[in-house]
Each structure stands twice: as structure tokens, then as C-alpha cells.
Amino acid sequence: MKILNLNEGSFPIKLSFELENHNVPNIGKLINNLSVEAQILKISKNLYKCDGSVEGNFLDTCQNCLKDTEINISNIINVTIKDSAEIHTDSSDQDQTHYQELEYFDLYRFIEEEVAIIYPDIVKCNKDCLEEPHPEEQEKNLPFKKIRDLIE
């Protein structure tokens, strides 16, 4: 666990690290390390901005055919960070805002939340997995095949 005190220190804070595992529920298993490149900028007293990128490969199960499927995530991080005390009083209309206690900012929790947001909702082994006929279904469509084979 990496804890930062965002109320103290000099900015920008440049981050470059890899995570070996994650605690995000209902997503696949991390195949290789999750790479994070980011920097945190201080905009005002209780307003921070994080810009960067996150990349990683996961092994998950196709929701249609149940094959093991590799999921590659790669996304840009562009998030505003505010103190969790402001969550109920914040009137801004920003879409990407992460609320957390600034004095004990848990960097891994922040990254895991970003991974949870960008991870696909539906995991498929390929784009047309739901439309492909399976071999078992094709054989079922020929109920009198053995009789036809005997006649010929």
C-alpha cells in the first residue's frame, strides 16, 4: 500500500510503478504487472489533478463460450482529486472526480478504482462470439443424417 500526503510536499508528483496484483472484485486475474505512469498536479488548496496512463493484461472467462480470454486494458487517466470531506457539498459537474482523504491518499486504491472503471463490462473471446454457431448446434439441425447416410 502506497500512502501519499497530498497536503504537503512539492508538485507535480511524478509516479511510475507497477502493481503485481489487485483487489478489484469481479474482474480477471492479472497476467503481468499493471503499469502506471502518472503525475499529480496541485490546482488549488483542496483540488488536485492526476494525468497519466494505466496498462495491463488480464485473464478472464468469455461470458458466452467460457473460454479463457486475454483482456488488454490501456487507458488515459484524467481525473480530478478532491478531499472526501467535500463529497456531499461539491456542486461541480465534473464527471471524473475521485474523492479520498488527502492526508492519507491511498495511491493503490485510486489505481484500482481506475482499473474497475475501464475494465470491460462484457468479456468476449472475440467480437462475433455471440453470433457464431457452435458445431454441436449444426449437428442437431440434421436429425435424419444417419438414415440418409444408410440410403446412399
pLDDT higher than threshold 70 for residue 18:
yes
Computed over every residue of the chain, the mean pLDDT equals 83
Find all residues with CB under 8 Å of 51, minimum gap 6, and list them: 38, 39, 41, 76, 77, 78
Residue in 58, 1, 14, 2 with CA at minimum distance from that of residue 33: 58
Predicted pLDDT at 131: 64
Render pLDDT for 39-77 as a digit per residue (tens, 0 to 9): 999 988 888 899 999 999 999 998 888 889 998 999 999
Q: Residue 113 has which C-alpha cell?
A: 478504482
User: Which residues neighbour 150 within 8 Å (Cβ) at sequence distance 6 or greater?
Assistant: none
pLDDT of 6:
86
Confidence check: pLDDT of 5 > 90: no
pLDDT, greater one: 151 or 113 = 113
H helix and E strand count, the chain:
3, 8
Q: What percentage of the chain reaches a pLDDT higher than 70?
A: 86
- Listed residue (36, 43, 28) closest to 83, CA to CA: 43
More confident residue, 17 or 9: 17
Cβ atoms of residues 59 and 28 within 8 Å: yes
Q: What is the pLDDT of residues 26-48, one digit of tens each?
A: 888 888 888 999 999 998 888 88
Three-class secondary structure of residue 39 per DSSP: strand
For residue 52, count other CB atoms closer than 10 A to its CB: 19
- Range among 21-25, 85-89, 110-114, 134-138 rated most confident: 110-114
pLDDT at 66 (0 to 100): 86
Q: What pLDDT score was predicted for residue 64?
A: 84
What per-residue confidence (pLDDT) applies to 36? 92
Count of residues in the chain? 152
Look up residue 85 and give its DSSP letter. G
